[in-house]
Amino acid sequence: MYTNGKEGKNPRETYRILSLDGGGIRGLITAVWLDRLEKELGKPIKDHFNLIAGTSTGSILACGISLGIPASQLVNIYKHRGEEIFPQLDSLRRTIKFIKHLPTQGLDQQLYCDQGLKKVLQEEFQRAKIPEKYISKISPPENENAKGGDLFFKDIRYLNGNELTTLVTSYDTLNRKAVIFDSREDNYNEIPMWEICKASSSAPMFFPAHIMEMKNGNAEPYTIPLIDGGVIASNPTACAIAEGMKATKNLKLTIEDFVPIEDFVVVSLGTGDSNRSISIKQAKNWGIYKWSYHITNVLFDGVSQAMDHIATSMLPRETYFRFQAKLEKDSLDDVSPENLNALQAFANCYFDTYDYQDKIKELKKILKDTHKVKVCNHKKIVNNCSCENSSRNGHNHKVESTPLLQS
- For residues 199 and 226, the answer to whether their CB atoms sit within 8 Å is yes
DSSP letters for 112-130 = S-SHHHHHHHHHHSBGGGS
Please state, in angstroms and rounded to a whole number, the distance separating the CA atoms of residues 61 and 46. Answer: 11
Please state, in angstroms and rounded to a whole number, the distance separating the CA atoms of residues 337 and 327. Answer: 17
SS3 268: strand
Which pLDDT score is estimated for 303? 81
Which pLDDT score is estimated for 144? 53
Nearest CA-CA partner of 399 in 265, 238, 253, 232: 253
The bridge status of strand 273-274 relative to strand 320-323 is unpaired
**What is the pTM (predicted TM-score) of this model?**
0.84
Which pLDDT score is estimated for 104? 55
Q: b/e map of 123-140 (b: 16 or more CB within 10 Å)?
A: ebbebeebeeebeeebbe
Nearest CA-CA partner of 56 in 364, 324, 355, 297: 297
Please state, in angstroms and rounded to a whole number, the distance separating the CA atoms of residues 247 and 182. Answer: 12
CA 64 to chain centre: 9
Show the low-confidence residues of the chain (pLDDT under 70). Answer: 1-10, 89-110, 142-148, 249-258, 375-407
CA 91 to chain centre: 34
Nearest CA-CA partner of 62 in 268, 301, 206: 268
Which pLDDT score is estimated for 384? 32
- Cβ-proximal residues to 159 (8 Å cutoff; 6+ apart), any chain: 66, 67, 68, 134, 137, 138
- Cβ-proximal residues to 106 (8 Å cutoff; 6+ apart), any chain: none
Which pLDDT score is estimated for 405? 44
Q: b/e map of 99-119 (b: 16 or more CB within 10 Å)?
A: eeeeeeeeeebbebebebbbe
Q: For residue 272, which amino acid is it?
A: G
SS3 402: strand
Which pLDDT score is estimated for 16? 96
The bridge status of strand 165-172 relative to strand 222-228 is antiparallel
